[in-house]
């Protein structure tokens, strides 16, 4: 399996522009997570989906952020309009109930490094 795929890997944009980050989870995984990582706040969960349905979006910072999962193999995180404080690395992760045990290990994609100037 190719693992979790994210695009783009790097994005530089100007304040006020719309940014769309993309994620393809591991095939067969029914949970998808969007995280944001900064030096100050560490790794924060923004939103997660189960079977394409948003379950918990309490970590989404504000209305400028939105996420969708139109099908089991694709999700987007959109920021409109972007601001310099949105600069961070955004990770997508996926997981599936294990056959044994309760670990529910999450597999992370390589991340998108976003810089808003």
How big is the CA angle at 27 (ends 25 and 29), to the nearest 5 degrees? 70
The answer to whether residue 18 forms part of the interface with another protein (CB under 8 A) is no
Instruction: Say whether the peptide bond before residue 90 is cis (omega within 30 degrees of 0).
Output: no
CB of 69 to another protein, least distance (A): 14
The answer to whether residue 28 forms part of the interface with another protein (CB under 8 A) is no
Task: State the Cα–Cα distance between residues 11 and 17, nearest whole angstrom.
Answer: 12
Considering only 5, 20, 31, 57, the residue that binds another protein (CB under 8 A) is 31
- Reading the block at residue 70, the tokens are 């139109």
Binding to another protein by CB under 8 A, coded x per residue (else -) over 32-71, reads -x-------xxxxx--x-x----xx---------------
Q: Which residues touch 90 (CB under 8 Å, ≥6 apart)?
A: 6, 21, 34, 35, 36, 37, 77, 111, 112, 114
Binding to another protein by CB under 8 A, coded x per residue (else -) over 72-101, reads -------------------x---x-----x
Residues near another protein (CB under 8 A): 31, 33, 41-45, 48, 50, 55-56, 91, 95, 101-111
């Amino acid at each position: 399996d190719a693992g979790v795929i994210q695009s783009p890997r790097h994005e530089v944009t100007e304040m006020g522009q719309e940014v769309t980050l993309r994620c393809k989870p591991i095939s067969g995984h029914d949970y998808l997570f969007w995280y944001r990582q900064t030096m100050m706040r560490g790794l924060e969960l923004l939103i997660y989906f189960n079977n394409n349905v948003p379950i918990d979006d309490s970590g989404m910072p504000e209305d400028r952020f939105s996420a969708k999962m139109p099908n089991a193999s694709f999700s987007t995180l959109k920021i409109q309009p972007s601001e310099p404080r949105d600069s961070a690395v955004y990770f997508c992760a996926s997981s599936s109930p294990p056959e044994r045990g309760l670990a529910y290990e999450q597999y992370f994609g390589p991340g998108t490094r976003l810089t808003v100037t």
